[in-house]
Amino acid sequence: MLRLPHEPAVAIVGATGAVGREMLAILEERAFPLARLRLFASQRSAGTRIAFRGHDIACESLEDAARDGTLRGIDLALFSAGKSVSKEWAPRLRDAGALVVDNSSAFRADPACPLVVPEVNPEALAAVDLPAIIANPNCSTIIALVAATPLHRALRVVRMVAATYQAASGAGAAAMAELESQAHAFAQGAPFDTRIFGRQYLFNVFSHNSAVGDDGFNEEERKLLTETRRIWADDSVRVAATCVRVPTLRAHAEALFLEFGRATSEHEIRAILAEAEREGHGLRIVDDRAANRFPEPLDAAGKDDVLVGRIRMDPSVEDGRGAALFVCGDQIRKGAALNAIQIAERFLPRGASVDANPASRCG
């Protein structure tokens, strides 16, 4: 595998959005080594200054950088600016020499672009030659598979039924702001702003706001099927999902019902998940029946791990081959920004370390 430079030049495309800002925070928290950081946003947001490692960095537009000829020299580009931006600019950054990790749906079905959750299918990166485009899966898929994959490896999941409870964060910073504004409006007896979802969000639950196909499934539900099959490299696994929006700000919750290829027990399932937790698989068990404490979005918000609980056998599946879980994961973090950066970290040279004064070379 070709690797990034010891201290790569890094760009974030979509730096002013919720995921872009989370990427910045994670780069700082994880002491990601870099020689230079460039931030890209829309023409409207160009010039916006964002703090990073003690310095303010001005956002640029991709169009201006292309005209100036300065897209070359970027080693790593982290994209979170939407499908249309990714489709136009990710190949241009790749062709200019960058490793691109894209958070949109633009390349998830492209067989030339690996679709990767580092804790789940890191082997998909082994044959990647740089420069390249690597796709981040959908947030709901990431959260579900971090929890389900240890069980899949040991017991082989043949069927997964998922019900998701998705936070405003999945629709971006504007959706989070709309939910907060409705809470303020409710307290003041004022009209609700409904520009993002076209309906009251506060105190409400509604079908996920992605397009519904002729088969009755929306895009979010379809992604859980197609992406799970691709990541697990198993076109035989059966997946069905119902995805809804719930009025929480951060962290998606999912009820997962898994059918296995062989009989198992609650004891074995708990042992498999506990071993995965010990090995740093990216999950943490939260399952206290006596105290009725299980995964909750508030507890998952801002955390790297996917919380796993409500671990029990599914009596609707015969011969002890079914189990049910309830999981929560931060959509902005593990469902987007962190997963992208974990992919990038796989391409750093072994032993790469942060510069003693990285802020001096930002911007």
Residues contacting residue 72 through CB under 8 Å, at least 6 positions apart: 96, 97
Specify the pLDDT at position 144.
Answer: 98
SS3 92: helix
Specify the pLDDT at position 1.
Answer: 64
Mind listing the pLDDT tens digit of every residue in the chain (363 residues)?
678 999 999 999 999 999 999 999 999 999 999 999 999 999 889 999 999 999 999 999 999 999 999 999 999 999 999 999 999 999 999 999 999 999 999 999 999 999 999 999 999 999 899 999 999 999 999 999 999 999 999 999 999 999 999 999 999 889 999 999 999 999 999 999 999 999 999 999 999 999 999 999 999 999 999 999 999 999 999 999 999 999 999 999 999 999 999 999 999 999 999 999 999 999 999 999 999 999 999 999 999 999 999 999 999 999 999 999 999 999 999 999 999 999 999 999 976 653 433 443 445
Specify the pLDDT at position 363.
Answer: 52
Dihedral sign for Cα 278, 290, 144, 79, please.
negative
Domain ranges of the chain: 9-137+338-361, 141-331
Of the residues 59, 139, 243, 328, only one is catalytic, namely 139
pTM to 2 decimals? 0.94
Of the residues 243, 252, 281, 328, only one is catalytic, namely 252
Is 139 an active-site residue?
Answer: yes
The CATH number of 9-137+338-361 is 3.40.50.720
The CATH number of 141-331 is 3.30.360.10
Residues contacting residue 83 through CB under 8 Å, at least 6 positions apart: 104, 105, 106
Is 243 an active-site residue?
Answer: no
